[in-house]
Structure 1
């Protein structure tokens, strides 16, 4: 493993100055409380190790972005992080369903996350509850307190499907005091967003909070088919009720109920390379479709969740928690590839219905020189997925006699096979049971500056599924796993620490619903050696966090495409080890009162050795890069709070993200997405006093993609056809108005 670090990580250190890099960890906290706090970088509290600790004391590579910084950067949902403001984190929409997100950290993420028989590589949590499916992850966040992004394997405390890391969205709890916050946002493309948050006074120890959010925007690629959806349009609604009951000083109950709906029209794909020559290419970003695309309906995702957290502080040294959740997701996919793929205007029509239940018990204790956490976890999921391919555009004129003629209504007859496209029905059930423990000991040596942490998690997974497509096929998997963690952390001073860590995690096995055989594949395992530095200096006006890591991914789950049929893929566990090495640097500066600068840079070196493709008779395929793994990525944030005016506080914000070229799909190097840089800006006048008890106003004007950069965040090769891409959002601008009392 030391070879990886020498060869793959250290070269990145010499390239730090090549990119202006990105944010957040200190910048968000330092700029959140007003002008006075901008003289220093504020301490940041995280729950990366379940208990609350300062970021400086937590030997985990974690980025934190708080509510105020999310607002200044226009981040209203998880897919708002897609610009790369956290460079190690890549978020991409699924091509057939934009409300389904593919999420990668440190260069390892799924390219087909919509399948119910397989899992992602990043564990997503909302208020401590695991979200088992990628469907609907683009939901709006009504009242977030912060988002924590844990980088690297998190198998001990966060469990399965955290080989790349974990993302934890943490919401604000009821305050117990009467308060109202109403925000209205309006922007170009008729964008409208309203957020209502109402806190009620505490009564008999019970506090209530209600959140409602509505967000909509017209599509920015007009569909020339009358009456059909425009591409990139969306409409989102969500509500959340939160209850906190303080039964006593020792016992607290938190309950949340959340319900929402996401309607999102397909992203528009353009043919960047046309090997056949009939449709032709669209080389630049367009604002209207060249063909009338019909039918085109939005993908509709409905979700609801119950979450119950009980916390009992048995003593000053012992706390017991219970976390129970029940969540359901339904999604009906609407899409049409009639303007880009040579498959008779193919429509991948899918429906997903998923229910999940989880129960976790956590026990947190401390004694003398020992801090520890132990827990037990149970998760179960039942999901069904149905699929039917339809055809809406006679590309070659084989049905109508005239090329590029619409097929009305769409047919299930596939001219390439000479038969009707089969109907597919999938059923999947997964159960997971785990027990875990982690302890940190401070030995009575070296002036108590040394900390040793050991962790271990045992997991048993059972998964089974069936596919009906002509005949019936099935699979069943049973897995037992042990995931250890070892950390040595040393505090050189009260504001400088270094750590060395070894950790593992695994991604559960499953089956590919698009494979010809529907045979199962096993777990993939990530093992990481990581060395980190965390520091605060310059009279607490600067923080610097560095992580160097080398990851080996064993039995990696890799997709192979059938070159004769785009929709047939096979997933296998490859024998060769996949290597991902890298460097992450976060620097936050508060050089003068009112000014906070955040810089963040990530270097990644990913390698997949040549692999035999089982769909081409075992011929070796050269994989040049992992998917979603830019070699260099970074961002910068600048926040300046002006000296207070008599009428309010003025805050200026500018941020930039830069991303090197990368592949969306792990392939043979034919699909490079070019590097790009994006700039955003916001000017906010806050604390506008309305007098007496009337409350206060906050007004912001903002612009995203300030220079209207033309860039491609998503694309994939089409074997035998060419390459398809989707362009990123053009310049958007608007204003926010917030009233609060």
Structure 2
């Protein structure tokens, strides 16, 4: 067995990001208030209503603010119910991470939150491309939603706009103000595909006053980063804001083939322009256009175990040395030279948000959005490890070339109001229209020689023009009407009821299979009603208790990786939740805990098959069925934030998740068995697993701010640690990944005055995966003839950065 260890490259590193996610306790530790229109410090005005403080940190979440006072933890306001509410009095389990917390953790994209910053939120890259992310909450995790007619189980929103595909979610995010992670079904207010919850990202809007921030940094693995966020003065009641981002990292696993891309590298660029028009009091119009490009490569797939038979037959060079390396430990360079170029993801979108205060008790809103995503995938990360074939003059090394193009349009109308002090309501109409298509081909790039003692690289034309394995197109339309009412019959008690009616219309066509024209279609119409009922009791001014019932669902569809475009129906979940929220000891301690039970029916289960084809090749296909029985998911989530002394904040978050899927009937395998001679008609049941969901996950952080001068300069220290139990990474395999323990740190000298104006400079040193911990985050034992292949997490990265606010 051969051991690989991480080697620190001499190159320097990347800085900085704007993104937001986390838990409410962490947000509290940062002493911030999150509102519908901004993030404030100690009661300051929302960021998009007042000029941002001149601060070099992730202002205005924390930088530029005075050190925390002895008054205790600051109120956190969230908008999970479409209106501003105090987090501690909002009857839902929700986590919030502001811009300052993201800066402390050096989060540059959503993928950086895969370390478990929010224990109940699970994030992983799609195996073949980093631009597509698998996002799960409370055990609701999609298996392979990387297709036009498959849906995710957690809704992702950007400034109130639903993002229909997993593709593009790992691109650089712009000037993120906060992210709210809503846990549990959100079918009433957020709709389809939110059965596990929702991730709502909010960007900063124009302020109307001149100011901004610019940052730059470098780090190891040749990384660098730059950002510019510029607010322009308002002219004729119109304010503008410009954002630009660039992020780069060289590969962490070097490709030994000269001139080819390595593995786990990225180059991201993006820009955004936003305008806010306030023609009269009570009316605002927000317009925004963004465009981004993400060039990346996947993590390298490594053979970590090998069977005795495979070991005896491994290809060897003339000296008898195996040509294929195997063993545990993150590889620094590939053993097999493979052609590899970057995958390219592109995204752009336009959003119009209109708000009109029709009266003191009613606000009307319109959210109109158009977005597109395209993805060109190039994945040769398996080399000779994932789909091994060896023999004289045999082709090997599967190059997965795939494309996806998606366009969506959505329109939402909302009425948010109140009747006196006893009734609050939300009502809305929603429309969503999507078209998405994909193609895929899987040629081989390498060829063993006649003695299997070496290999050559095939002519690039043989794989760049290879026969299409599949091509499909899918269409979706969704119509919804929803409403929610909260009443207070007696002072400490609040009752909330709501519901959403949705009509989904989906259809599609698989028109190429193995290079031949086909006409496999599906056509599906589903009508759905999702109710909500909540009882909340303010037992004391410091303690809030609630009980909640809610439902949600994930839309049905069809698998474009199926040879016959087999369709499947929607799955649905019922959730029962009890919560306790408290602020104790003069607001020095905040403790929230929630327990829940979720029952999911018609669970969408994937089965993989390797089917011989008439041309002598073997085709991997994926079929999806709705499993019978009830999937049970049970869990506890807890957040503790303590601020014992001025300047010191500590947070601890924990999530326990139990899940059990009943054995699923593999009707696809039964159909294949029926074609045997003689036919086999015995029902086939298989054990299946929930993906990327640890039984126990824990995250903790410590922050200390020390004033070093009378002019507001702070020495800031941050350390966070994140633990997760092993997880299943393939639905049909009992194989588990490794447990993980990731530590991140940051040390900064913040808000150094520059000159006589409001300019302030921050200098920082950061590190992710500080102890260079190695763990397998994806593992498969599907190829029983060879052994297990796996993907390792990213190695330690570190760097320096400078940020100037003006």
Report the Cα distance in structure 2 between the residues aligned to 1:312 and 1:22, rounded to whole angstroms: 30
Counterpart in 2 of 1:637? 701
Report the alpha carbon displacement of residue 411 of structure 1 after superposing the two structures with TM: 7.7
SS at match of 2:354: strand
Measured against aligned partners, the alpha-carbon deviations of 1:337-387 in whole angstroms (never above 9, x if no partner) come to 223222621112111111000000000110021100000000000111111
Is contact 1:505–1:527 with CA below 8 Å preserved after alignment?
A: yes
Q: Are residues 1:310 and 2:354 paired? A: yes
SS at match of 2:206: coil
Q: Are residues 1:726 and 2:791 paired? A: yes
Report the alpha carbon displacement of residue 684 of structure 1 after superposing the two structures with TM: 1.1
Is contact 1:463–1:478 with CA below 8 Å preserved after alignment?
A: yes
Counterpart in 2 of 1:330? 374
Among candidates 465, 475, 487, match of residue 429 of structure 1: 475
Mapping of 1:661-700 within 5 angstroms?
A: 661-669=726-734, 671-693=735-757, 695-700=759-764
The change in CA–CA distance for 1:551 and 1:299 in structure 2 (over 3 A counts) is: same
SS at match of 1:274: coil
SS at match of 2:621: strand
Report the alpha carbon displacement of residue 28 of structure 1 after superposing the two structures with TM: 3.4
Report the Cα distance in structure 2 between the residues aligned to 1:303 and 1:422, rounded to whole angstroms: 25
Measured against aligned partners, the alpha-carbon deviations of 1:261-306 in whole angstroms (never above 9, x if no partner) come to 0001121111123343334523211100011111x11110111100
SS at match of 2:112: helix
Report the Cα distance in structure 2 between the residues aligned to 1:440 and 1:592, rounded to whole angstroms: 38
Counterpart in 2 of 1:580? 633
Counterpart in 2 of 1:346? 398
Which consecutive residues of structure 2, in runs of 5 or more, have no partner in the other structure? 1-22, 33-60, 315-323, 390-395, 612-617, 671-682
Report the alpha carbon displacement of residue 99 of structure 1 after superposing the two structures with TM: 0.8
Counterpart in 2 of 1:36? 67
Q: Are residues 1:610 and 2:663 paired? A: yes
Counterpart in 2 of 1:10? none
Q: Are residues 1:439 and 2:482 paired? A: no
Counterpart in 2 of 1:409? 459
Counterpart in 2 of 1:738? 803
Counterpart in 2 of 1:459? 502
Is contact 1:293–1:339 with CA below 8 Å preserved after alignment?
A: no
Report the alpha carbon displacement of residue 113 of structure 1 after superposing the two structures with TM: 2.4
Is contact 2:185–2:573 with CA below 8 Å preserved after alignment?
A: yes
Among candidates 67, 75, 92, match of residue 124 of structure 2: 92
Between the two proteins, the alignment pairs up a number of residues equal to 706
Report the Cα distance in structure 2 between the residues aligned to 1:477 and 1:273, rounded to whole angstroms: 44
Report the alpha carbon displacement of residue 22 of structure 1 after superposing the two structures with TM: 10
Report the alpha carbon displacement of residue 403 of structure 1 after superposing the two structures with TM: 6.3
The change in CA–CA distance for 1:298 and 1:540 in structure 2 (over 3 A counts) is: same
The change in CA–CA distance for 1:232 and 1:370 in structure 2 (over 3 A counts) is: same
Is contact 2:545–2:579 with CA below 8 Å preserved after alignment?
A: yes
Q: 111-120 or 209-218, which moves further after superposition?
A: 111-120
Report the Cα distance in structure 1 between the residues aligned to 2:532 and 2:451, rounded to whole angstroms: 64
Counterpart in 2 of 1:492? 539
Is contact 1:391–1:407 with CA below 8 Å preserved after alignment?
A: no
Counterpart in 1 of 2:318? none
Name the TM-score, length of structure 1 as normaliser.
0.93
SS at match of 2:234: coil
Which consecutive residues of structure 1, in runs of 5 or more, have no partner in the other structure? 1-20, 414-419
Report the Cα distance in structure 2 between the residues aligned to 1:105 and 1:95, rounded to whole angstroms: 19
Q: 548-557 or 385-394, which moves further after superposition?
A: 385-394
Report the Cα distance in structure 2 between the residues aligned to 1:511 and 1:406, rounded to whole angstroms: 39
The change in CA–CA distance for 1:314 and 1:65 in structure 2 (over 3 A counts) is: same
Among candidates 148, 152, 155, match of residue 120 of structure 1: 152
Report the alpha carbon displacement of residue 90 of structure 1 after superposing the two structures with TM: 0.6
Is contact 2:24–2:96 with CA below 8 Å preserved after alignment?
A: no
Is contact 2:639–2:654 with CA below 8 Å preserved after alignment?
A: yes
Report the Cα distance in structure 2 between the residues aligned to 1:353 and 1:734, rounded to whole angstroms: 35
Report the Cα distance in structure 2 between the residues aligned to 1:350 and 1:422, rounded to whole angstroms: 9
Measured against aligned partners, the alpha-carbon deviations of 1:552-579 in whole angstroms (never above 9, x if no partner) come to 1100101012255672111000001111
Report the Cα distance in structure 1 between the residues aligned to 2:596 and 2:205, rounded to whole angstroms: 35
Mapping of 1:162-173 within 5 angstroms?
A: 162-173=194-205
User: C-alpha root-mean-square deviation of aligned residues, in Å?
Assistant: 1.8
Among candidates 214, 217, 220, match of residue 182 of structure 1: 214
Measured against aligned partners, the alpha-carbon deviations of 1:613-649 in whole angstroms (never above 9, x if no partner) come to 33443432223x4111100001101110113424721
Among candidates 722, 729, 735, match of residue 657 of structure 1: 722
Counterpart in 2 of 1:379? 432
Measured against aligned partners, the alpha-carbon deviations of 1:484-519 in whole angstroms (never above 9, x if no partner) come to 001001001122101000100110000011113212
Counterpart in 1 of 2:687? 622
Is contact 1:99–1:264 with CA below 8 Å preserved after alignment?
A: yes
Counterpart in 1 of 2:337? 292
Mapping of 1:5-44 within 5 angstroms?
A: 24-29=26-31, 32=62, 34-37=65-68, 39=70, 40-44=72-76
Report the Cα distance in structure 1 between the residues aligned to 2:277 and 2:95, rounded to whole angstroms: 31
SS at match of 2:129: coil
Counterpart in 1 of 2:410? 358
Among candidates 443, 460, 470, match of residue 390 of structure 1: 443
Is contact 1:566–1:719 with CA below 8 Å preserved after alignment?
A: no
Report the Cα distance in structure 2 between the residues aligned to 1:85 and 1:698, rounded to whole angstroms: 24
The change in CA–CA distance for 1:38 and 1:355 in structure 2 (over 3 A counts) is: farther
SS at match of 1:79: helix
Report the alpha carbon displacement of residue 124 of structure 1 after superposing the two structures with TM: 0.3
Report the alpha carbon displacement of residue 103 of structure 1 after superposing the two structures with TM: 0.5
Report the alpha carbon displacement of residue 181 of structure 1 after superposing the two structures with TM: 0.8
Mapping of 1:496-645 within 5 angstroms?
A: 496-562=543-609, 567-617=620-670, 618-623=683-688, 625-645=689-709
Is contact 2:125–2:131 with CA below 8 Å preserved after alignment?
A: yes
SS at match of 1:82: helix
Q: Are residues 1:77 and 2:109 paired? A: yes
SS at match of 1:37: coil
